[in-house]
C-alpha cells in the first residue's frame, strides 16, 4: 500500500512588502504556507527568507575578536563597512544608529540622517535603519532619515507603542516602510498593528516580535514568532499577516558562550538563525560572515 503524505492548504496570505526601489528593491513575504512546508505542496513561499548584515554607526566596543576581525579594517567607517556587507552578498544592510541614543553619544538627528544618506549612496542594496528604542529621541531621528531619503522606501524602526505615531506618519509622508516592535507578546503585537494600519497600509509594515539568543529565551521567542505566522496563514488574521524580521545578532554575541571561542560563537549564531527561519522569519539580522554563508546555503 502506497503511503500518501496528507496535505493541508491554508487560505491566509502574508502580504508582500517591497523594501528599496528600482534595481535595489527586495520583496519579502507573500507566503501562504508555514516555513519549509511548500515541499509537500501545501502552498507557496514565493520570496525566500532574506539576510541582513549589521553595520553600526560607531565602532563596536567589546565585540569578540573573531566576530570583529572580518570587519576590523572597516569598523570605524560605516560607509566602507556597508560596502563590505554588500561584497559578502547580503540582501540588506542593517544600519544601527547606536550613537544617536542620548545614553551614548547623543548624535543630533541631522547628523545621524546625513550618515544614513552616505551609507545609502555607497551601496546598491536596500537599507534597514534601526534606532535603539529610545522613545524620546527615535521619532526625531527617524523623521529626519525619512526626509533626507524621501521616496527611497527604506525599512526603519522600531516603532513601539510609545512612539509609533510620529514614526509612522514620517514613513507615510516620505514613502518608507516601518518596523512594528512589540515585547514578545502576540496580543500587544496585534494591538500595535491595529494602530499602525490606521496610518500605513499593511504592505508598508514588518513585524519585530523581538528575538532572543540560544539559551537565553530563544524557545519563547520562537513560539511567539511561530504563533504569529500561524495566526496569519492558518486563521487569516489580517493584523498578523505582515512579514517578520528576526533581529538576534546582538543578542547572540553579547553572551558568555559565543565570546569564549570562535567555533562556539559561530555555532551559537547558526543554531539561533536556523531556529528563527524555521519559525517563519522573512528577514534574519546576522553578524558573522561564516554564519551568513551557512544560512544562505541552508535557505537556498
Q: What is the pLDDT of residues 274-299, one digit of tens each?
A: 999 999 999 999 999 999 999 999 99
Asked if residue 76 belongs to a domain, the reply is: yes
pLDDT of residue 35: 87
User: In total, how many domains does the chain have?
Assistant: 1
Confidence of residue 40 (pLDDT cuts 50, 70, 90): low
H helices of the chain, in order, are 65-68, 78-88, 109-122, 138-148, 164-174, 186-196, 218-233, 249-253, 256-260, 262-279, 289-299
Confirm if 144 and 117 have CB atoms less than 8 A apart. Answer: no
292 assigned to some structural domain: yes
Q: Are the C-beta atoms of 245 and 229 separated by less than 8 Å?
A: no
Position 189 in a domain: yes
The answer to whether residue 259 sits within a structural domain is: yes
User: Can you give the CATH number for the domain in which 262 is found?
Assistant: 3.20.20.20
Question: What's the pLDDT at 3?
Answer: 78
Q: Which domain holds residue 122?
A: 48-219+246-299
Pairing of strands 92-96, 245-247: unpaired
Contact 271, 295 (CB under 8 A): no
Look at residues 277, 223, 213 and name the one whose alpha carbon lies nearest to residue 245.
Answer: 277
pLDDT recorded at residue 42: 76
Please give the average per-residue pLDDT across 138-166, as a whole number.
Answer: 98
Looking at residue 37, its pLDDT comes to 72
User: What are the Cα distances from residue 63, in Å, to 255, 265, 288?
Assistant: 10, 11, 11
The C-alpha R_g of the chain, in whole angstroms, comes to 18
> What distance in Å separates the CA atoms of residue 182 and residue 213, rounded to the nearest whole number?
17
Beta bridge partners of 94: 54, 128
* Confidence (pTM): 0.96
Q: Does a structural domain hold residue 11?
A: no
How many angstroms separate the CA atoms of 192 and 189, rounded? 5
What average pLDDT score do residues 90-116 get?
97
Confidence band of 41 (pLDDT split at 50, 70, 90): low
Q: At a CB cut-off of 8 Å and minimum separation 6, what does 92 contact?
A: 19, 26, 50, 51, 52, 53, 125, 126, 127, 128, 155, 283
Q: What integer pLDDT is reported at residue 168 of this predicted model?
A: 98
The sign one gets for the Cα dihedral 271, 274, 279, 285 is: positive
The confidence score (pLDDT) of residue 7 equals 76
Q: What is the mean pLDDT of residues 62-76?
A: 95
Q: Is residue 287 part of a domain?
A: yes
Residue 36 lies in a domain: no
- Give 234-275 pLDDT, tens digit per residue: 999 999 999 999 999 999 999 999 999 999 999 999 999 999
Asked, for residue 9, whether it belongs to a domain, the answer is no
19-38 mean pLDDT? 91
Q: Report the pLDDT value the prediction gives residue 38, as an integer from 0 to 100.
A: 60
User: In angstroms, rounded to a whole number, what is the distance separating the alpha carbons of residues 21 and 36?
Assistant: 28
Residue-wise pLDDT for 205-226, tens only, equals 999 999 999 999 999 999 999 9
Please state, in angstroms and rounded to a whole number, the distance separating the CA atoms of residues 261 and 107: 34
Cα→Cα distances 13→131, 188, 201, Å:
30, 21, 15
* Phi and psi angles of residue 127, each rounded to the nearest 5 degrees, phi first: -110, 140
How many whole angstroms separate alpha carbon 205 and alpha carbon 176? 9
Structure confidence at residue 39 as a pLDDT band (50, 70, 90)? low
Amino acid at each position: 500500500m502506497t503511503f500518501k503524505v496528507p496535505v493541508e492548504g491554508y487560505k491566509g496570505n502574508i502580504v508582500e512588502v517591497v523594501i528599496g526601489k528600482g534595481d535595489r528593491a527586495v520583496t519579502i513575504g507573500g507566503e501562504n504556507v508555514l516555513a519549509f512546508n511548500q515541499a509537500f505542496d501545501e502552498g507557496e513561499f514565493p520570496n525566500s527568507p532574506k539576510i541582513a548584515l549589521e553595520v553600526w554607526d560607531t565602532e563596536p566596543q567589546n565585540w569578540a575578536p573573531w566576530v570583529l576581525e572580518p570587519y576590523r579594517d572597516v569598523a570605524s567607517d560605516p560607509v566602507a563597512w556597508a560596502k563590505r556587507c554588500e561584497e559578502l552578498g547580503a540582501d540588506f544592510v542593517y544600519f544601527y544608529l547606536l550613537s544617536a541614543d542620548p545614553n551614548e553619544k547623543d548624535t543630533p538627528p541631522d547628523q545621524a540622517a546625513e550618515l544614513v544618506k552616505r551609507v545609502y549612496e555607497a551601496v546598491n542594496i536596500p537599507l534597514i535603519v534601526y534606532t535603539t528604542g529610545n522613545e524620546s529621541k527615535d521619532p526625531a531621528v527617524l523623521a529626519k532619515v525619512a526626509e533626507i531619503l524621501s521616496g527611497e522606501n527604506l525599512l526603519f524602526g522600531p516603532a513601539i507603542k510609545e512612539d509609533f505615531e510620529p514614526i509612522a506618519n514620517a514613513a507615510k509622508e516620505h514613502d518608507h516602510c516601518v518596523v512594528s516592535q512589540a515585547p514578545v507578546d502576540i496580543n500587544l503585537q496585534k494591538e500595535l498593528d491595529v494602530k499602525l494600519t490606521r496610518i500605513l497600509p499593511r504592505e508598508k509594515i514588518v513585524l519585530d516580535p523581538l528575538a532572543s539568543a540560544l539559551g537565553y529565551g530563544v524557545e519563547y521567542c520562537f513560539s511567539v514568532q511561530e504563533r504569529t505566522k500561524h495566526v496569519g496563514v492558518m486563521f487569516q488574521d489580517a493584523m498578523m499577516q505582515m512579514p517578520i524580521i528576526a533581529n538576534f545578532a546582538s543578542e547572540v554575541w553579547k553572551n558568555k558562550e559565543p565570546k569564549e571561542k570562535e567555533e562556539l560563537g559561530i555555532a551559537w549564531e547558526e543554531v539561533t538563525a536556523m531556529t528563527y527561519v524555521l519559525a517563519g522569519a522573512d528577514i534574519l539580522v546576522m553578524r558573522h560572515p561564516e554564519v551568513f554563508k551557512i544560512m544562505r546555503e541552508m535557505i537556498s
